[in-house]
Amino acid sequence: MPSLNDIRQTFLDFFARNGHAVVDSSPLVPRNDPTLMFTNSGMVQFKNVFTGLESRPYNRATTAQKCVRAGGKHNDLDNVGYTARHHTFFEMLGNFSFGDYFKSEAIPFAWELLTRDFAIPADRLLVTVYHTDDEAAAIWKKVAGLPDERIIRIPTDDNFWRMGPTGPCGPSTEIFFDHGAEIWGGPPGSPDENGDRFIEIWNLVFMQNEQHADGSMTELPRQSIDTGMGLERIGALLQGKHDNYDTDLMRALIEASANATSTDPDGPGKVHHRVIADHLRSTSFLIADGVMPSNDGRGYVLRRIMRRAMRHAHMLGAQDPVMHRLVPALVRQMGAAYPELTRARATIEETLRLEETRFRQTLERGLRLLDDELNRLPEGAALPGEAAFRLYDTYGFPLDLTQDALRERGQAVDVAGFDAAMAEQKAKARAAWSGSGEAADAAIWFELADRHGATEFLGYDSEASEGAILALVDGGQTVERAGEGERVQIVVNQTPFYAESGGQVGDTGLVKTETGAARVTDTRRMQGVIVHLAEVTLGEIAVGQGAQLSVDSDRRGAIRANHSATHLLNEALRGALGEHVAQKGSLNADDRLRFDFSHGKAVTAEELAAIEAEVNALIRQNAPVETRVMSPEDARELGAQALFGEKYGDEVRVVSMGHREGSEKGANRDTYSIELCGGTHVARTGDIGAFVILGDSASSAGVRRIEAVTGEAALAHLRAAEGRLSEIAGLLKAPVGDVVDRVKALADERRAMAGEIASLKRQLAMGGGGDASPQAREVGGVSFLARRVEGVSGRDLPALVDDMKRSLGSGAVLVLADAGGKAAVAAGVTPDLTGRVSAVDMVRRAAEALGGKGGGGRPDMAQGGAPSLEAADAAIAAVETMIGETA
């Protein structure tokens, strides 16, 4: 029985023998199609080849393309695990012709591979064609000898493919396998076509037409072929299975899940294992391709998939993170075909482990709140949309997770009500937003772009130039002139001013004419037009005048240094932390730089020191910073880094700097940093001067932020730090070299004193440390001791409760403390009574009486809070009543 790896290789080898270039799978983040969230078919990487916008050194290609369908139009998430053939991740095998061969070769290729190499019985195959495609039907009859009843003509768009409302399109033919009469279902086009008897295994698209906006259709001058065969489907067929999850690859992942959770792979938790196996593939490959969990975009979809898998692991009884432990099994199955999986293994494991650790608290809280909501409903009733939205909005519990949890109970969610609650919240947010006025001004920039075209930027080579004022804009309207004190937006034909872009701030400087001058405070780009935001400081300026434009040179120099340092920092981070590091945002200003990057945990002090040292070593190289313009393909060949999601044209600007042996980047494979970048940079790395990291912080989940300074700002920071150190040494009356030891000693003394003070406060709160039992009340056979205390912080309450429990021997303790104007509540129960009285219930009852919302903890120790202690007596009475009722 061939493995899925064997089947993949057989497919690629067949087409390689038939003159096709074997092309690597493209990343799951599409390089050339911003309309797609994820690569979802084999043709995505060839889209521009099909449309003639891009040429390749081959006109026949074959691929095994990794694909993800989750989120947006192509969303299989909700069905995954419950059906035989739904996946979030799958492999699409395909062969492509770019103006080379057409139907008369594509159909024989397919038939030969299926019936000879894959040895599928010909009498089990049937095909569909578009109802007017007589040519394809005739070829099938000639090549395969299929009778008319096994060549089914379909009049719907199921057999007519379109790239979009306009553009390439054409009929398709689909190949189906007949699993036999014992399985319910009818052939395609019949009323029972949705059954499982006839399963599509291959789709061949014949791109022969072009759809025009007026509805007409003409023949393409260059006809092409695009085919797609799901590896999981053909694998199930060739392995004699009727369920994709029974194939060798999926079975290995399911058994890994079962071993990790100590459960039966085919028992009651079968669906859970199937979900985990599928989601393990999609999450791991997305992380390997640079996607990290976040709260928006691709990162949010990744997080949803991860959390769905983690919930199913929870349903299997997993008490600790599981997903990361399954990655080795995935690498064993797929690492040879996709080396990026092996390279990113450590990053994948760490990302999954951190996300599952973070999510466990959200999951347990969400499921508990969901139970509370369901207990209020009549049996079998749908969960109200408002309740589902509250779980999402307040507690971070996504709708699909709520739906998934309810599915197992046979219940549903009022999705319309959820959508209405979401719409209401968005409406409130819009009403609260005052607006910036930019949307109202947008039309003028389209108009100016149409009239004058894009502004020519001269700033790579010059910081001063002449120009002609083409337009002045004030409040979204063009004006002819602007006088002293007026704010105006200036448009010229050419400028040395850099417009804010790619994280680099806009330039400032001066615009002078024969009648006046204006101070430029910022520069932006609107629809290709570079706009100088300015205030007239002398005389007046007018449309049609010639102008002298000069950039603030010192400020530009500082910005250049920070931008070049950011490139070095990016590469140093990848070297120190791993290849998973990807830029998520940046700011290159004159006074500092800020760099956001994907990384799941804080950067250690040792790592920061090593990164800082690396960047400074590259600065000391004083290597030239080189800039070249080339095609995106040539840039990628050199190893240039690009931003995911960025759209690049036919030419890109490539900035290279620094040397490192064995880097495998650049023409000589020894360049340190190569990035696609439109910003301004220093001439040599030495011009940066110095680089100092100010700190590392969390920007968002899975994203870290480093801030740093360079040049004079770095020296000023070091001088200030040295001054503060000398001042501290003076206060300690110690040499600078002894400061750390002296501070450590003082900190140790302070901790010891704080411990003594806390102990004394607890003794005072207990009445001097005596036996507490005489002060306790007997409630329902339980010794109950309640105290209101002053001068004890919330964090010291657990220790006080433990002291009181020890003093009681057996009983329940409640302590109410004034914590900075608010109430802190703590409760404890001795081990012999936790089966009768819960500290969590005590805290919740007390907090509610005080106007709070409850608390949490364990049956023997819990804490909570409330706005004030005004109702302390009522809180104590409420807890006493509760103990009497439950004990």
What's the pLDDT tens digit per position in 763-804? 665 655 445 455 789 998 999 999 998 877 778 889 899 989
User: CA 627, CA 672: separation in Å to the nearest integer?
Assistant: 14
CB 161 within 8 A of CB 204: no
Q: Which of 719, 660, 713, 723 is nearest to 690 (CA)?
A: 713
Q: Is 70 exceeded by the pLDDT of residue 669? A: yes
Does residue 486 contact residue 528 with C-beta atoms inside 8 Å? no
| pLDDT at site 635 | 87
pLDDT digits (tens, 9 = 90+) for 108-147: 999 999 999 999 999 999 999 999 999 999 999 999 999 9
Q: What is the mean pLDDT of residues 327-343?
A: 96
CB 324 within 8 A of CB 310: no
The CATH number assigned to the domain holding 678 equals: 3.30.980.10
CA dihedral 304, 309, 313, 319 (to 10 degrees): -40
The predicted structure's pLDDT at residue 72? 52
Name the more confident of 348 and 168.
Answer: 348
Angular region, 475: left φ>0, alpha ψ -120 to 50, beta rest = left
Reply yes or no on whether the pLDDT at 9 is more than 80. Answer: yes
- How far, in Å, are 38, 229, 349, 526 from residue 33 at the CA level? 9, 22, 29, 23
Question: 258 vs 73, which has greater pLDDT?
Answer: 258
pTM of the model: 0.58
Taking residues 72-80, what's their average pLDDT?
65
Q: Please say whether the beta carbons of 167 and 35 come within 8 A.
A: no
Q: CB–CB of 688/565 below 8 Å?
A: yes
pLDDT at 435: 38
Record the tokens describing residue 438, joined without a space.
């930019």
Is the confidence at residue 15, as pLDDT, over 80?
yes
Question: Where residue 433 falls among pLDDT bands split at 50, 70, 90?
Answer: very low
| Domain identity same for 200 and 234 | yes
* 135 lies in some domain: yes
Based on the domain organization, do 189 and 76 belong to the same domain? yes
Q: Which of 414-418, 551-555, 852-856, 882-886 has the highest mean pLDDT?
A: 551-555
Quickly tell me which residue has 């805290």 as its tokens: 843
pLDDT reading at 632 higher than 90: no
Same domain as 652, residue 613? yes
* Closest CA relative to residue 305, chosen from 278, 331, 330: 278
Q: How confident is the model at residue 75 (pLDDT cuts 50, 70, 90)?
A: low
Range with the poorest average pLDDT among 28-32, 415-419, 462-466, 821-825 = 28-32
Share of the chain above pLDDT 70, in %: 93
Is 26:5 a contact under the CB 8 Å cutoff?
no
Residue 64 belongs to some domain of the structure = yes
Residue 556 vs residues 28, 256, 455, 508, 683: alpha-carbon distances, Å: 38, 56, 20, 8, 13
* Full residue range of the structural domain in which residue 258 is found: 247-359
What value does the mean pLDDT take over residues 264-271? 93
User: So what's the pLDDT on residue 432?
Assistant: 43
Q: What are phi and psi of 472, to 5 degrees?
A: -125, 135
Of 518, 551, 584, the position where a domain reaches its end is 551
Q: Are 34 and 217 in contact (CB under 8 A)?
A: no
Is the residue at 520 inside a domain? yes
**Which of 270-284, 393-407, 589-603 shows the lowest mean pLDDT across its residues?**
393-407
Q: Mean pLDDT, to the nearest integer, of 612-637?
A: 91
User: Which of the two residues, 270 and 426, has the higher pLDDT score?
Assistant: 270
719: enclosing H helix or E strand: helix 711-732
**Among 230, 235, 244, 200, residue whose Cα is nearest residue 81:** 244
Give the CATH number of the domain where residue 778 resides: 3.10.310.40
Q: Is residue 232 located within the same domain as residue 162?
A: yes
The residue among 523, 584, 526, 527 whose CA lies nearest residue 556 is: 523
Task: Look at residues 624, 630, 670, 681 and name the one whose alpha carbon lies nearest to residue 654.
Answer: 630
Last residue of a domain, one of 301, 333, 359: 359
Q: What is the pLDDT of residue 335?
A: 96
Whether 492 and 596 map to the same domain: the answer is no
Give the pLDDT score at 430. 43
pLDDT, position 646? 57
pLDDT of 339 above 90: yes
Going by pLDDT thresholds of 50, 70 and 90, the confidence category of residue 43 is very high
Asked which of 483-492, 752-761, 783-792 is least confident by mean pLDDT, the reply is: 752-761
How many helices and strands (H and E) does the chain possess?
A: 23, 32
Instruction: Find the mean pLDDT for residues 511-527.
Output: 95
Domain assignment present for residue 450? The answer is no
Whether 432 is in a domain gets the answer: no
**Mean pLDDT confidence for 28-44:** 79
User: What's 385-438 look like in SS3?
Assistant: HHHHHHHHHHHCCCHHHHHHHHHCCCCCECHHHHHHHHHHHHHHHHHHCCCCCH
Mean confidence (pLDDT) of the chain: 89
Q: Which residues contact 356 (CB under 8 A, 6 or more apart)?
A: 306, 310, 313, 321, 322, 323, 324
Give me 785's structure tokens.
């001791």
- Sign for the CA dihedral angle at 601, 605, 607, 613 comes to positive
Cα–Cα dist 540/755, whole Å: 71
Buried b (16+ CB within 10 A) or exposed e, 218-242: eebeebbbbbbbbbbbbbbbbbebe
Same domain for 534 and 571 = no
Torsion, Cα 524 529 530 536, to 10 degrees, reads: -90
* pLDDT over 90 (residue 619): yes
Alpha-carbon span 564 to 550, nearest angstrom:
22
In the numeric block, which tokens belong to residue 868?
């004030």
What span, in angstroms and rounded, lies between the C-alpha atoms of 60 and 96? Answer: 6
751 in a domain, yes or no? no
Instruction: Report the Cα–Cα distance between both ends of the chain, in Å, rounded.
Output: 65
Give me 817's structure tokens.
């403390």
Q: Please determine, for residue 639, whether its predicted confidence score (pLDDT) is greater than 50.
A: yes
Do residues 40 and 136 both lie within one domain?
yes
- 698-728 tens-digit pLDDT: 998 889 999 999 999 999 999 999 999 999 9
822-829 and 812-819 beta bridge pairing: antiparallel
**What pLDDT does residue 676 have?**
92
In sequence order, the β-bridge partners of residue 597 are: 583, 704
Q: Do residues 676 and 794 share a domain?
A: no
Identify the band that residue 35 occupies on the pLDDT scale cut at 50, 70 and 90.
low
Whether pLDDT at 643 is above 80? no
pLDDT level of residue 518 (50, 70, 90 thresholds): very high
Rounded to whole angstroms, how far apart are CA atoms 661 and 671? 8
Q: Among 715, 738, 766, identify where a domain stops.
A: 715
Do 63 and 210 reside in the same domain of the chain?
Answer: yes
**Does 438 score more than 60 pLDDT?**
no
What pLDDT score was predicted for residue 644?
Answer: 47
| Backbone phi and psi for residue 859, each to the nearest 5 degrees, phi listed first | -60, -30
In a domain, 731, yes or no: no
Do 93 and 230 reside in the same domain of the chain?
A: yes
One domain for residues 256 and 218? no
**Is residue 307 predicted with pLDDT exceeding 80?**
yes
Q: Which tokens sit at 417? A: 């009500």
Three-state secondary-structure class, residue 280: helix
User: Three-class SS of residue 499?
Assistant: coil
What's the pLDDT at 774?
Answer: 52
Answer for the pair 139, 111: CB distance below 8 angstroms, yes or no.
no
Classify residue 345: in a domain, yes or no: yes
Two tokens, residue 435: 């607006």
Instruction: Give CB contacts under 8 A, 24+ apart, made by 458-463.
Output: 458/494, 458/495, 458/496, 459/495, 459/496, 459/497, 459/498, 459/507, 459/551, 459/680, 460/627, 460/680, 462/496, 463/496, 463/550, 463/551, 463/553, 463/556
**pLDDT more than 90, % of the chain:** 62
pLDDT score for 70: 83
pLDDT beyond 90 at 463: yes
Total of domains in the chain: 5
Residue 830 has pLDDT above 70, yes or no: yes
Task: Output the CA–CA distances (angstroms, integers) from residue 807 to 791, 801, 830, in the order listed.
Answer: 21, 10, 11
Same domain, 788 and 683: no
